[in-house]
Structure 1
Amino acid sequence: MIPFNTPFLTGKEAHYMYQAVYTGKLSGNGVFTKKCQAFFEERYGFKKTLMTTSCTDALEMAAILSGVQPGDEVIVPSYTFVSSALAFVRQGARIVFADSCIDNPNIDVDKIEGLITDKTKVIVPVHYAGVACEMDKIMAIAEKYNLLVVEDAAQAIDSFYKGRPLGSIGHMAAFSFHETKNIIAGEGGLLVINDDRFIRRAEIVWEKGTNRSEFFRGEVNKYGWVDVGSSFLPSEIISAFLYAQLENLDMIQERRKAIWSQYHEGLKFLEDNGLVHLPNIPEYATNNAHMFYLVCRSIKERTSLIEYLKANDILAVFHYLSLHLSVYYKANYSTIPNLSACDRFADCLVRLPMYYGLKEEDVQFINSLVVDFYKNK
């Protein structure tokens, strides 16, 4: 069986974890945490970064920092992981779901302004598959209505919008290092703060509502409880594992992009003949090869394709279900929006295996099976 994902190890992870263990400093904000944060700030120009135990935690921090109160509204694409919405629901926000683009699972920017009310506080663009949303338009809308933008960049490490790193454009951003991502730590995340207004409070929220970070820098002579927060810091073991991956980011990205290109070249003629749709990379965006997917013509066809691949020892999977049709949303909201583009991706999108160790012959075999499936279609 060719799996959907196999975590890649550089060989240094256990060595750095060993180092972390024997420094005697295993809790958060130690040497490796600082090294990881410095890497992101120096490579991508993020103003301030804080490692977290997950992308969900980073989003929850962003929700706290955004000042969302019960009754406030937050605009989120429906085609995303539940954390994009849940982080704000926990603060009492009412989620307003937006549709996807017709040719791309990202949020349809042209629909955002029509969803804004006097209760809207935040827009959460999700860079699906690491491909940028149209950020200039989103930031212009946010400025016009005095809204905050939190980039859900869970899948978007080392991807760019008009030359600008994703995660550097919104007021805040969140990244994931889950084992299915390009760069992994098993679990793990990163909060990016690009707006000076939120930097000091972010450290306090990060440190369980205390000004502990300021104390350890010698900026105050004692620390105590000064705000809300939680234990969002990861242990040094998580950061040590991640740092080994970050040292090899360029090598990992080069291989993933080669795999992505092999898929695309092998399946492009299916799209040319109207049998499937392949990922659309707008001219303003780059491709970080987080995933390779194709969009079938119906849910029945997608189910048959997944079953056909599985029968031939290939594990392909679908992705998100529409959040506006979820059990939770239906139970808590009286009006269910009609988001047809989102529903199409929920019904028809299938992801093919994508990981560093996937061999060229594996990709060739997968491509040949997909082609065989569509021969008589």
Structure 2
Amino acid sequence: MIPFNKPPYTGNEDQYVLRAMRSSKMSGDGEFTALCHKWFEKSLGCVKALLTPSCTQALEMAAILIDIQPGDEVIMPSYTFVSTANAFVLRGAKIVFVDIRPDTMNIDETLIEQAITPRTKAIVPVHYAGVACEMDTIMDIAERNSLFVIEDAAQGMMSTYKGRQLGSIGHMAAFSFHETKNFTSGGEGGLLIINDERFVTRAEIIREKGTNRSLFFRGMIDKYTWVDVGSSYLPGELQAAYLYGQLEKAEYINSARLSVWGKYHEHFKSLEEGGVVDLPIIPDGCVANAHMFYIKLKDINVRSAVLNELREAGIGAVFHYIPLHSAPAGKKLGVFVGQDKYTTIESERLIRLPLWLGMSDDEINLVKNTVTSAIMSCDA
């Protein structure tokens, strides 16, 4: 049995978690949170980094910070995880879905402008598989229409767009450290990145349950109090300790995943040339982080047949999102603008293959050969 995922582990997580356990500061914003924040602010070149318990909660903070009100509209792709929409729906927003590009599975930047109305408040590009959206165009649209851009970079740590780190381009960004991501903070975790100085002070208040507690701990006020809306968006120190053990070896993790990705790509290239599958495309000017490797088959029927064969062979391949606009909540809380030319049909073709830190060549070869055999038997 080869599972779809194994959470990354590099070796120092144990001692750091133990050190956090024995410290006098386990509730968060301690030694390891500070180290993580420093690493992100230096690596991403952002104004402020704030760890959160999950990427979902980082997105929720962003929705509060841009003051989403009932009736506001937020543009995003339908091909994304439910949290991308939920964070804004919770504030009363209407979600406006537009079609994706078939090459990257990212939002089609050429369709955004026609979806803008007087109620539009923000654009939320999702960097699928760690491959960048066309951010220059998106930022230009946002600037001309006075809109906020919140990057959903859940899968994008250490990917770049024209030399810039994903998450450092929009007004804010959210990352995930769930156990399926390239880096994890012990199973769950997230990060809010702020690139616009005007949001920093309020972000710290919202994160600390609506209090100015962070100023108190820095000695800037003699007592703290409730000053704004907020919630419990502060993760415990054990999460930060586990995560920092991985950030220390970020280049190693990135290189190892890219190696697996490259071996898959090289193997399946002949099937792509024969018109049997489509492989991931990384546009010029983009560098991806090997968050996932996927193949796209002829249609949903072939995909189902291939997945059944892989399941029987003990290979943990999976499909991904069911488009949100087709879900019950999506129909009630959002609207798809324009033609669904690619979102549904492309999502129904896609299979994600096992990829994790530490995959052996034997495991990679078994996946490659089993997947190829399954595809060819279905194609026959």
Calculate the TM-score normalised by the size of structure 1: 0.98
Give the equivalent residue in structure 2 for 1:175: 175
Greater alpha carbon shift after TM alignment, 226-235 vs 14-23:
14-23
SS in structure 2 of the partner of residue 294 of structure 1? strand
Q: Distance in 2 between matches of 1:197 and 1:336?
A: 32
Deviations 1:317-355 (A, max 9, x none): 000001000011224457786423110232111000010
Instruction: Tell me what 2:201 maps to.
Output: 200
Q: How do residues 9-88 of structure 1 correspond to structure 2 at under 5 angstroms?
A: 9-88=9-88
The answer on 1:239 being equivalent to 2:240 is: yes
**Structure 2 residue aligned with 1:153:** 153
| Deviations, residues 184-226 of structure 1 (Å, cap 9, x unaligned) | 1110000000001101100000110011111111112221000
Q: How many residues align?
A: 377
**How far has the Cα of 1:243 moved from its partner?**
0.5
Native 8 Å contact 1:318 1:350 kept in 2: yes
2:70 aligned counterpart, secondary structure: coil
- Counterpart of 2:257? 256
Letter of the 1:214 partner, please give it: L
Instruction: Pick closer, same or farther for the CA change 1:335–1:246 going to 2, 3 Å.
Output: closer
1:205-254 CA deviation, whole Å, 9 max, x = no partner?
01100111111111122210000010100000000000001111111111
Deviations 1:63-119 (A, max 9, x none): 000111000000011000000110000000000011110222100000000000011
Give a deviation string over 1:281-336, Cα, whole Å, max 9, x none: 00121120000001111101001111111221111000000100001122445778
Looking at structure 1, the residues matched to 321 and 346 of structure 2 have their Cα atoms a distance apart, in angstroms, of 8
Counterpart for residue 108 of structure 2: 108
Q: What is aligned with 2:138?
A: 138
* Contact map agreement 1:107 1:133 (CA 8 A) in 2: yes
Q: Distance in 2 between the 1:22 and 1:357 partners?
A: 30
- Work out the CA distance in 1 between the residues paired with 2:60 and 2:281: 30
Give the match for residue 362 of structure 1.
363
Distance 1:51 1:29 in 2: 9
**Letter paired with 2:280:** P
Q: 1:23 to 1:333 in 2, by over 3 A?
A: closer
**SS of aligned partner of 2:154:** coil
Cα distance in structure 1, aligned partners of 2:232 and 2:260: 38
In the alignment, the residues of structure 2 paired with residue 314 and residue 267 of structure 1 have an alpha-carbon distance, to the nearest angstrom, of 17
Question: SS at the partner of 1:7?
Answer: coil
Which segment drifts farther, 73-82 or 367-376? 367-376
Query: Is residue 2:117 matched to residue 1:117?
Result: yes
- Find the aligned partners of 1:12 and 1:156 in 2 and give their Cα distance: 23
What SS does the aligned partner of 1:375 have?
Answer: helix
Q: Is the 8 A contact 1:330 1:336 kept in 2?
A: no
Residue 316 (1) aligns with residue 317 (2):
yes
Deviation of the 1:268 alpha carbon? 0.6
C-alpha separation between the residues in 2 aligned to 1:335 and 1:146?
22
Instruction: Find the aligned partners of 1:311 and 1:161 in 2 and give their Cα distance.
Output: 39
Unaligned runs of 5+ in 1: none
Q: Structure 1's 335 and 139: CA in aligned 2 closer, same or farther, altered over 3 A?
A: closer
The change in CA–CA distance for 1:334 and 1:163 in structure 2 (over 3 A counts) is: closer
Instruction: Give 2:203's aligned amino acid.
Output: A
Q: Quote the Cα distance in structure 1 between the aligned partners of 2:25 and 2:281.
A: 45
Q: Is the 8 Å Cα contact of residues 72 and 94 (structure 1) preserved in structure 2?
A: yes
Query: Against the structure 1 CA distance between its residues 140 and 331, is the aligned structure 2 distance closer, same or farther, given a 3 Å change threshold?
Result: closer
The one-character-per-residue Cα deviations of 1:4-31 (angstroms, maximum 9, x if unpaired) are 0011211211211110111121101111
1:144-180 CA distance string (max 9 Å, x none): 0000000000000000000000000000000000000
Q: Distance in 2 between matches of 1:132 and 1:102?
A: 14
SS class of match (1:340): coil
Q: Mark the CA change 1:115 to 1:362 in structure 2 (over 3 Å): closer, same or farther.
A: same
Secondary structure of the equivalent of 1:84? helix
Are 2:264 and 1:271 equivalent residues in the alignment? no
2 CA distance for matches of 1:103 and 1:131? 11
User: What amino acid sits opposite 2:283 in the alignment?
Assistant: P
Gaps of 5+ in 2: none
SS in 1 for 2:286: coil
Give the letter aligned to residue 204 of structure 2.
E
Say whether the 8 Å CA contact 2:96–2:334 is kept in structure 1: no
